[in-house]
Copies of this chain bind each other. A is one copy, B any other.
Amino acid sequence: MSEPIRNKKLDSITAPTPQNTPANAAPISSRAQQPGVSSIKEEELDRTAASLFAANPALVSMMQAKLGSLVGRSSGYIESLPASVRRRVAGLKGVQKEHSKLEAEFQEEVLQLEKKYFAKFTPLYQTRAKIVNGNSEPTEEQIKVGETKDEDDDEDPVPEEDINKDEGVDVKGIPEFWLSAMKNQISLAEMITDRDEAALKHLTDIRMEYLDRPGFRLIFEFEENEYFTNKLVTKTYFYQEENGYGGDFIYDHAEGDKIDWKTAKDLTVRIESKKQRNKNTKQTRVVKKTVPTESFFNFFDPPKPPTDEEDDAASDIEERLELDYQLGEDIKEKLIPRAIDWFTGEALQYENIEEFDQGDFEDEDDEDEDELSDDRDEDEESDDENDGSKPKQEAAECKQS
C-alpha cells in the first residue's frame, strides 16, 4: 500500500528548492503557469525588473555581472554569424515551432488525464463530506486502515477502550473540520481573521470542478449561518485560451461570487469611527464610515489584472494577483486533495520551509508601519472596530480608502 507518510523515513536528503514546492508537484496539477515574465510586454518587463532591483539593490550588480553580458552577447552573436549558419538557425526555429505544437498537445492530454483522475477522486471526496458533516460514519475498514501505524509514526493510536466509549456521541461529524484544515495551511491562515473564523466554521465542504474551457472553479459550501445567505460561494480561475511558452496553461483572470451579506454582517468592511474636532469651536463629533478591511472573504472579490500600461499601481496589483493565484492553487492542489492531513497538521511536514522567506515578512512589517502613521493623525482619533488583524492581502487597499 502506498502511504503518503512512508517516504518520511527513506534515507535520502532534503533539497528544498523553488522547483520542489508541493503546489507544483501536487497530483491534480493544473500545469497552469501564472502570468510570468513570459507574458509581459517588454516595457512591462523593464518596469518589473526595475522595481525588483529597486527593492533589492544588492541584486543589481550581481544581475549585471551574471546576466548582462550573456543576454547582450547572444543577440549580437547571432547577427554576426555567416548567412549559411543563420539559415540553419532559422531552420531550427522552424523545427522548434513544430515542437511547441506538440508541447501544447501534451499539456492538453495531461489536463484530460487530470480530469479522468478527478472523476476517480470525487467519490472519495463525497465520502469525506458525509463523514465530516455527520451524514454517515466511516466503515470499520476505513478506520482500521486509517489507524494503521506508519512504521515511523510515534503518535499514540486511539486506545481501544476510548473507541468503545460513548464519549461525544452527541457530536455530529467533525466540527470545524474545514476551518481547522485551512488554519493549518499557512497561506490560508494568513488570510483568516478572528472575525472570519465565526463564519468559516459553517463550511460544510470545499470542492472544485473543471470548466468546459481551460480553468477551474473552487466551491465553498456553507450551512445556514448568521453572516450571509449564499449556500455556495464560488471562485473561478480562468486560464488563457492560448498555451504559453513550453505549452503551459497561463492564468488569465479570476472571478468570485458576490456574497449576500446579512445586515451589518459584512466581514470585508469595518466601521471606522473618527472623532473630528472643530478647530474653532473645539467641539468634537463622531463620524462613522465603512472602510474595506482584511478578510478571507476578499478572496471572492479578486483583484483585476491591469490593462492600462500606465497604471502606477500595477506593481501592487501584480503582488495581489500573485497572492490570489497562489491561494487558488493552494486550495486546489493541497487543501482539497488532502484535507484530513491539513486538519491533523500532518501535511505541514511536507511543506517547503523555504516558502516562508524573509521577503514576505518584511513586506508585511513595512505595511503595518505605514498604516500606523496614517492612522495617528493629530486632528483625528481613529477607533477601529475591527478585531481581526492578521492578513496582509488588503492592507494596501485600506490605505487608499
Q: Is the CB of A8 within 8 A of B42?
A: yes
A83 in contact with B348 given A14-B37, A18-B18 (CB within 8 Å): no
Q: Is the CB of A326 within 8 A of B19?
A: yes
Select from chain B the residue with minimum beta-carbon distance to A35.
B12
A12 vs chain B, min Cβ distance (A)? 4
Flag the segment in A145-153, A199-207, A268-276, A378-386 that touches B.
A145-153
7 A–B contacts, CB within 8 A, in A order? A12-B240, A14-B40, A15-B35, A89-B174, A92-B138, A93-B146, A97-B148
Q: Does A34 contact B (CB under 8 A)?
A: yes
Q: How far is the CA of A21 from the CA of B23 in the complex (A)?
A: 12
Q: Is the CB of B146 within 8 A of A38?
A: no
Within 8 A of B (CB), among A21-56: 21-29, 31, 33-42, 44-45, 48-49, 52, 56
Q: Is the CB of B40 within 8 A of A99?
A: no
Contact with B along A85-124 (1 / 0, CB 8 A): 1111111111111111111111101100110010011001
**What B residues does A250 contact at CB under 8 A?**
7, 10, 12
A226 vs chain B, min Cβ distance (A)? 24
Q: Is the CB of A7 within 8 A of B240?
A: yes
Contact with B along A55-76 (1 / 0, CB 8 A): 0101100110011001101110
Q: How far is the CA of A252 from the CA of B12 in the complex (A)?
A: 7
Contact of A146 among B66, B90, B337 (CB under 8 A): B90
Q: Is the CB of A7 within 8 A of B337?
A: no
**What B residues does A14 contact at CB under 8 A?**
35-37, 39-40, 44-45, 48, 318
Q: Is the CB of A106 within 8 A of B95?
A: no
Q: Does A233 contact B (CB under 8 A)?
A: no
Flag the segment in A181-189, A258-266, A288-296 that touches B.
A181-189
Select from chain B the residue with minimum beta-carbon distance to A334.
B246
Q: Does A232 contact B (CB under 8 A)?
A: no
Flag the segment in A210-218, A278-286, A339-347, A368-376 that touches B.
A339-347
Contact of A344 among B48, B82, B89, B180 (CB under 8 A): B89
**What B residues does A11 contact at CB under 8 A?**
41, 305, 307
A19 in contact with B23 given A38-B350, A101-B2, A139-B91 (CB within 8 Å): yes
A242 in contact with B6 given A34-B15, A167-B84 (CB within 8 Å): yes
A191 vs chain B, min Cβ distance (A)? 13
- For A190, A343, A345, A351, the residue with the greatest tally of chain B CB atoms inside 10 Å of its CB is A345
Select from chain B the residue with minimum beta-carbon distance to A358.
B58
**What B residues does A242 contact at CB under 8 A?**
2, 6-7, 10
A91 in contact with B146 given A18-B21, A103-B27 (CB within 8 Å): yes
Q: Is the CB of B318 within 8 A of A15?
A: yes
Q: How far is the CA of A322 from the CA of B132 in the complex (A)?
A: 40
Q: How far is the CA of A212 from the CA of B290 in the complex (A)?
A: 64
A243 vs chain B, min Cβ distance (A)? 6
In addition to A83-B166, A88-B174, A89-B343, 5 A-B residue pairs with Cβ atoms within 8 Å of each other are: A13-B305, A18-B18, A66-B356, A94-B147, A99-B338
Q: How far is the CA of A354 from the CA of B326 in the complex (A)?
A: 16
A173 in contact with B4 given A26-B246, A27-B103, A99-B337 (CB within 8 Å): no
A38 in contact with B318 given A19-B24, A88-B173, A361-B62 (CB within 8 Å): no
Q: Does A244 contact B (CB under 8 A)?
A: yes
A35 in contact with B19 given A89-B340, A146-B93, A353-B52 (CB within 8 Å): no
Q: Is the CB of B2 within 8 A of A95?
A: no
Q: Is the CB of B96 within 8 A of A4?
A: yes
Complex A-B, nearest 5 residue pairs according to Cβ-Cβ distance, in ascending order = A91-B138, A82-B168, A74-B345, A93-B146, A94-B146
